[in-house]
Amino acid sequence: MNSATPTFAMMSDNDKEQQLVNYLKGLIMDGVRQANSGHTGGAFSSVDFAYVLFQKHLRFDPEDSGWFNRDRFILSAGHESMLIYSLLHLQGYLDMEELKNFRQLGSKTPGHPEYGLTAGVEATTGPLGQGVGMAVGMALAAQIARSHLGEDIVDSYTYALCGDGDLQEPVALGTCQLAGHYGLNRLILFYDFNKIQISGQVDRNDSTDIAQMFRSFQWNVLEIDGNDHGAIDQAILHAQCSKEKPTIIIGHTTMAKGCATMEGSADTHGAPLPHEEIAATKRRLGIPEDASFYIPQEALNFFRRRFPLLREHRRSWEKAIQDRAKADHNFTPLLEQFTRSMVPPIDYPNLDEKMPTRKAFGKLLEAVADQYIAFAGGSADLEPSNNTTGFMQKVQDYSRDFHQGRSIPFGVREFPMGAIINGMQLYGIKSFGATFLVFSDYMRASLRLAALQNIGTMFIFTHDSVSLGEDGPTHQPIEHLPSLRLIPGLHVLRPADALETRYAFDHALHSQNPTVLALTRQDLEPVTSAYYHNGGSFSQGGYILRKENGELELVIIATGSEVKLALDSAAKIEETLGKGVRVVNMPCCELFDMQSADYRNDILPPCTTTVAIEAAATGGWYKYTGRQGLVIGIDQFGESAPADKLLQHFGFTQESVVDKIIKFLK
């Protein structure tokens, strides 16, 4: 900053706005340079939109980043993380020391924004496209909440910022198709169209007419100079007035806008600027060259001049809450469902009978439909197969004309469904999405992000084994159960019968961890009645279902549809060999592994021969059986045939299992 440059206090308000943007660029440059890692160019091209949004339009509580009726801002282009961290510093949510520790171990400023770690970060983003999907989910959840709680309680907007890479990921396009179909008019997406990717010019790989594509998706489309503050302001105001459609603001921007010599360069995308470029850019932007992470207090005060109005808006909202609570005694419990994730008492049906566990799930859904309003979800065009039809008929489909509907018609869009239900969960609605277990492959990235964010999304996967039958190997899951169990923090629940499905469902409903319910197509005989009627707990993950007769010599572990087979086989082995055989039902390995060592050793004595049975790939079970143990599973792809023929073919009959175990013991 030279002597001719006026001080911040001497500038006009318009000049102060621009200088604040310059200071943000300085923070971005310094953070990326100090970490020697990160993305500068995209953050520079996006900063004008983000600044105008945060300064003039975004509603938040300066003292409470988790206020329910806040506007949500999702940085889908998560590699631009120094942009949001710098803005969070202006909001007062993030200390300057955290900006200086960008991308360092233990900081609140990791390489990509992480929900639950940093105040003001609404979603964990970075894998491109998913932030757009979660934003759609948040906007959908807000519309549902608004329809049930009232427009005076929920009047927030959902904003998202994306780049070229986001819109090249099909998950983003699938969710945007749905956003237009649903008519999510309070969703505003800013597309930073700077035409540069890590590898160079976007036109090397893409010539899509984005504007025309989004018009076909039933979106409002606005095209502006994305570095012009006045145009940005007017575009946001225009988007806020939309009554029927979401809005995309296509901002034509310049990569690394404001750099001294590297404007428009792909070299600024995924790397820090050279030291000499930073010095020259600071001179150009009116920032002291010898000062790192520079922003004067008077500039912070200027940004925060809107804080009194924001606080007053929060107080008005609190008053509306109090007035509604006085007028309607049912309002507070309903509000707490949305704002505090309060699950009401559920009157579950009696499920102690023979049926497929997918059918039991359908009955549970219908029970919840009547009592838990902050609960929504749907199926990826498999309502009859996933048994979600009854729920759909009770609560009705969400549509652009009926926002109270809590059945979400996703169509054949498994990955978009996963991203959307994660967004709904982040907003405050307990959410589920259903499809076949084999198609969890399409959703794995969203499953991983749900676990990384530690949010309680429910993933319902039916047709959980080769017993689905004639559809054959393309539809028969083999490796899916063990592969899902590898995701840290994800609870994979495979109940043994209809009654246990109730307890698994209740665990999922209350869980802060994401859960998978793996459910059968075929009937299962009741096997857990005595355990649960005598006060047994699902929360332990694994338990003794059949005690050994006499001295314990063998433990058989099983899950889901194989538990009955394990019980029958254990009885036959005891009868044949006179050995004491215990059967352990393991509906959730993750919960079992969380128990004390004493409990686990009591259930699975370390020195006892152990066998595991599951109609899936075998690898994950050796941690319980030991390397010398026996695992009866399926380590090849399935076949097309009726279920009973397949079970016989793969050796899942009592005769085959008993024969294998006896040979193993001998």
Is 521 annotated as contributing to ligand binding? yes
Is 69 annotated as contributing to ligand binding? no
CB atoms within 10 A of CB 407: 23
Burial of 584-614, coded b for 16+ CB within 10 Å and e otherwise, reads: bbbbbbbbbeebeeeebeebbeeeebbbbbb
602 membership: H or E segment, kind and range: helix 597-603
Euclidean distance between CA atoms 144 and 149, whole angstroms: 9
Do the beta carbons of residue 376 and residue 431 sit within 8 Å?
A: yes
Is 587 annotated as contributing to ligand binding? no
Do the beta carbons of residue 390 and residue 365 sit within 8 Å?
A: yes
Is 88 annotated as contributing to ligand binding? no
Residues 571-580: contacts with CB under 8 Å, at least 24 apart: 572/654, 572/658, 573/658, 573/661, 573/662, 574/548, 574/549, 576/658, 576/662, 577/662, 577/665, 578/550, 579/550, 579/553, 579/554, 579/665, 580/548, 580/549, 580/550, 580/551, 580/552, 580/553, 580/554
Is 385 annotated as contributing to ligand binding? yes
Cα–Cα distance list, 388 to 116, 357, 499, 519, 620 (Å): 31, 13, 18, 13, 31
Reported in sequence order, the residue ranges of 312-386 that DSSP labels E, i.e. its strands, are 355-356, 375-379
Task: Please say whether the dihedral angle defined by the alpha carbons of residues 65, 69, 70 and 72, taken in this order, is positive or negative.
Answer: positive
Which runs of consecutive H residues, i.e. helices, occur in 101-204?
A: 130-149, 164-168, 170-182
Do the beta carbons of residue 576 and residue 665 sit within 8 Å?
A: no
Is 126 annotated as contributing to ligand binding? yes
Reported in sequence order, the residue ranges of 454-500 that DSSP labels E, i.e. its strands, are 458-462, 491-493
> Residue 509 CA to chain centroid, in angstroms?
15
Is 164 annotated as contributing to ligand binding? yes
Tokens, residue 65: 């980043």
Is 206 annotated as contributing to ligand binding? no
Nearest to 409 by CA among 399, 419, 400: 399
Task: Please say whether the dihedral angle defined by the alpha carbons of residues 290, 294, 295 and 296, taken in this order, is positive or negative.
Answer: negative
Euclidean distance between CA atoms 622 and 557, whole angstroms: 11
Do the beta carbons of residue 432 and residue 368 sit within 8 Å?
A: no
Is 475 annotated as contributing to ligand binding? yes
Is 600 annotated as contributing to ligand binding? no
Helix (H, G, I), strand (E, B) or coil at 401: coil
Is 329 annotated as contributing to ligand binding? no
Is 194 annotated as contributing to ligand binding? yes
DSSP assignment of 209-227 equals: -HHHHHHHTT-EEEEEETT
Is 347 annotated as contributing to ligand binding? no
Whether 414 is catalytic? yes
Nearest to 49 by CA among 243, 252, 195, 245: 252
Is 471 annotated as contributing to ligand binding? yes
Largest CA distance in the chain: 98
CB atoms within 10 A of CB 645: 13
Do the beta carbons of residue 615 and residue 652 sit within 8 Å?
A: yes
CB atoms within 10 A of CB 3: 4
Do the beta carbons of residue 368 and residue 344 sit within 8 Å?
A: no
Is 196 annotated as contributing to ligand binding? yes
Out of 17, 169, 366, 414, pick the active-site residue: 414
Nearest to 142 by CA among 174, 177, 173, 188: 188
Is 519 annotated as contributing to ligand binding? no
Is 66 annotated as contributing to ligand binding? no
Binding residue ranges for thiamine diphosphate: 79, 126-128, 165, 194, 269, 439
Catalytic residue list: 414
Binding residue ranges for substrate: 39, 269, 358, 385, 463, 471, 475, 521
